[in-house]
């Protein structure tokens, strides 16, 4: 704990006794600690999450909630049946995407934004999304790499196969391998994608790797990725990895096999 030098200086100017000075200072510390604790209270009611179990972004949000101890009210939203295009849903989220969350009237979509919000609003500490500007910037960079490069290239390869019945595209697979190679380089000398501790960037990226594993994509040439994947799976096991992420990936893989 860092000592507030300004507050101590004020006490010195008041010319109070040392005993009284210590007493007043600790009362100040307790008030501030209580204020910080109040700022990170758990939600007063479960947060509604509109989701579909195999959806990769939904899975990352659900594991983040588990890691933080946040209760969710899961609202099954079957996009295959158009449940995300009802007037009520579009009023809530004009992009009609999943996941979408409703935290007592505060509506938010985009999985990475939801994950960041969960940590900022309800995290007991900042380990999953550090407040340090440089550490947070690195987490943000990894999240953007996943969104704009790794996950996108995964989608470029598998969405045409899953939803259009198209054949395996070697060029798209090569592009995905290139992204995995970049991730492999980023992991050099690091236990996790943004440092030595698990962050929401790992929870976002692990979902993509879980899908690749379920689909049988060969990523074994990327040694750092292989080691990180096993380490991250083990770390997330207490937070529903097998049930939420692995289970959801296997559902997606079953769709691919049907084709």
State the catalytic residue, choosing from 2, 37, 55, 116. 55
Strands 100-103 and 72-76: unpaired
Return all residues near 160 (Cβ < 8 A) that are at least 6 apart. Answer: 166, 169
**What is the Cβ-side half-sphere exposure of residue 35, based on CA atoms within 13 angstroms?**
6
Find, among 40, 94, 46, 93, the residue nearest to 66 by Cα: 46
Task: Output the six-digit token pair for 30.
Answer: 């307790």
Cα gap 14→88, rounded to integer Å: 60
DSSP 125: S
CA angle 99–104–108, rounded 5-degree value: 30
In the structure encoding, which two tokens stand for residue 192, read together? 């996790």
User: Tokens for 81?
Assistant: 């049946």
CA-nearest of 199, 99, 95, 206 to 146 is: 206
Q: CA-to-CA distance for 222 and 176, rounded, in angstroms?
A: 12
127-164 burial: b if 16+ Cβ within 10 Å, else e: ebbbeeeebbebbbebbebbeebbbbbbbebbeebbee
Residue 2 designated active-site: no
Return the H-helix or E-strand segment holding 228: helix 223-236
> Would you please indicate which residues are annotated as catalytic (active-site) residues?
55
């Amino acid at each position: 704990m860092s000592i507030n030098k300004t507050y101590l200086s004020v006490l010195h100017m008041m010319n109070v006794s040392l005993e009284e000075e210590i007493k007043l200072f600790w009362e100040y510390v307790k008030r501030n600690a209580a204020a910080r604790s109040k700022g990170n209270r758990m939600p007063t009611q479960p947060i509604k999450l509109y989701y579909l179990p195999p959806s990769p972004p939904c899975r990352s949000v659900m594991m983040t909630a588990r890691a933080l101890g946040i209760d969710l009210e899961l609202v099954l939203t079957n996009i295959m049946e158009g449940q995300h295009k009802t007037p009520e849903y579009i009023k809530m989220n004009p992009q009609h995407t999943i996941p979408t969350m409703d935290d007592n009237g505060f509506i938010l979509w985009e999985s990475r934004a939801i994950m960041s919000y969960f940590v900022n609003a309800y995290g007991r500490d900042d380990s999953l999304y550090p407040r340090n500007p440089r550490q947070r910037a690195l987490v943000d960079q990894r999240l953007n790499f996943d969104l704009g490069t790794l996950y996108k290239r995964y989608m470029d390869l598998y969405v045409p196969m899953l939803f259009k019945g198209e054949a395996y595209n070697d060029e798209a697979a090569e592009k995905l391998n290139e992204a995995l190679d970049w991730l492999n380089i980023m992991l050099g000398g690091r236990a996790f994608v943004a440092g030595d501790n698990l962050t929401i960037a790992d929870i976002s990226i692990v979902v993509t790797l879980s899908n690749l594993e379920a689909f049988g994509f060969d990523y074994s040439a990327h040694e750092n990725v292989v080691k990180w994947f096993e380490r991250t799976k083990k770390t997330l096991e207490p937070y529903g990895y097998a049930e939420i992420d692995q289970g959801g990936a296997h559902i997606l893989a079953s769709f691919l096999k049907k084709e």
